[in-house]
Amino acid sequence: MIAQDRFRWHDEARLFAGSQELPRAPAGDCDDFRVLPAAPANDALTGLAAAITDQAPFCLSDRPRRADEITCPPGAFLTLTGGASGLPKAVRRSQASWIASFGVNADRFALRSSDAVAVLGLLSHSLSLYAVLEALHLGLDAHVLADLSPRRQAAQIAKVGATILYATPTQLRLLARGAATPLPTLRLVLCGGGALDAATRAAVERLCPNAAVQVFYGAAETSFITLADASTPEGSVGRPYPGVDLRLLNAAGQPTADVGEIWVSSPYLFDGYASGDSTDTRWQDGFVTVGEMGELDKDGHLWIKGRRQRMVQIADQLVFPEAVEAVIAAHSSLPCAVLPRDDALRGQLLVAVVEGVENRAQAEGIIAACRAELGPLAAPRRVYFNPELPLLASGKIDLTALSHWLEGQL
3-state secondary structure at position 79: strand
Span 188-194, mean pLDDT?
A: 93
Give yes or no for residue 1 having a pLDDT over 80.
no
Count of Cβ atoms closer than 10 Å to residue 144 Cβ: 29
Give yes or no for residue 228 having a pLDDT over 80.
yes
3-state secondary structure at position 211: coil
Cα separation, 350 vs 342, whole angstroms = 9
Taking alpha carbons only, the member of 244, 192, 245 closest to residue 219 is 192
- pLDDT reported for residue 64: 64
Class of domain 311-407: alpha beta
Query: Which sign, positive or negative, has the C-alpha torsion 64, 66, 69, 72?
Result: positive
Count of Cβ atoms closer than 10 Å to residue 215 Cβ: 22
DSSP secondary structure string for all residues of 319-368 = E-HHHHHHHHHHHH-S-EEEEEEEETTTEEEEEEEEESS--HHHHHHHHH
Where is pLDDT greater, at 298 or 63? 298
What is the chain's length? 410
- Phi, psi for residue 182 in degrees, rounded to 5: -60, 165
Query: To the nearest whole number, what is the mean pLDDT of the chain?
Result: 91
Q: How far is CA 291 from CA 55, 151, 160, 264, in A?
A: 33, 37, 41, 11
Residues 6+ apart with CB under 8 A from 294: 237, 248, 259, 260, 262, 302, 303, 304, 305
Buried b / exposed e over 152-164, threshold 16 CB at 10 Å, is ebbbbbbebebbb
**What residues are paired with 209 via a beta bridge?**
none
3-state secondary structure at position 30: coil
Buried b / exposed e over 362-379, threshold 16 CB at 10 Å, is bbeebbebbeebbeebbb
pTM of the model: 0.84
Burial (0-12, 13-18, 19+ Cβ within 10 Å), 137: buried
Give yes or no for residue 244 having a pLDDT over 50.
yes
Burial (0-12, 13-18, 19+ Cβ within 10 Å), 112: exposed
Cα separation, 65 vs 59, whole angstroms = 10
Contact in structure between 174 and 400 (CB atoms under 8 Å)? no
For residue range 132-148, list pLDDT tens digits in order: 999 999 999 999 999 99
Span 196-217, mean pLDDT?
A: 94
Contact in structure between 280 and 307 (CB atoms under 8 Å)? yes
Contact in structure between 56 and 16 (CB atoms under 8 Å)? no
Give yes or no for residue 84 having a pLDDT over 60.
no
Count of Cβ atoms closer than 10 Å to residue 4 Cβ: 8
Q: Quick one: CATH architecture of 15-240? A: 3-Layer(aba) Sandwich (3.40)
- Phi, psi for residue 159 in degrees, rounded to 5: -65, -45
For residue range 247-300, list pLDDT tens digits in order: 999 989 999 999 999 999 999 999 999 988 888 899 999 999 999 999 999 999
- Phi, psi for residue 131 in degrees, rounded to 5: -60, -45
Give yes or no for residue 344 having a pLDDT over 80.
no
Give yes or no for residue 339 having a pLDDT over 70.
yes
- pLDDT reported for residue 123: 94
3-state secondary structure at position 186: coil
Domain layout of the chain by residue ranges: 15-240, 311-407
Which amino acid appears at position 291 of this protein? G
Cα separation, 356 vs 246, whole angstroms = 39
Give yes or no for residue 65 having a pLDDT over 80.
no
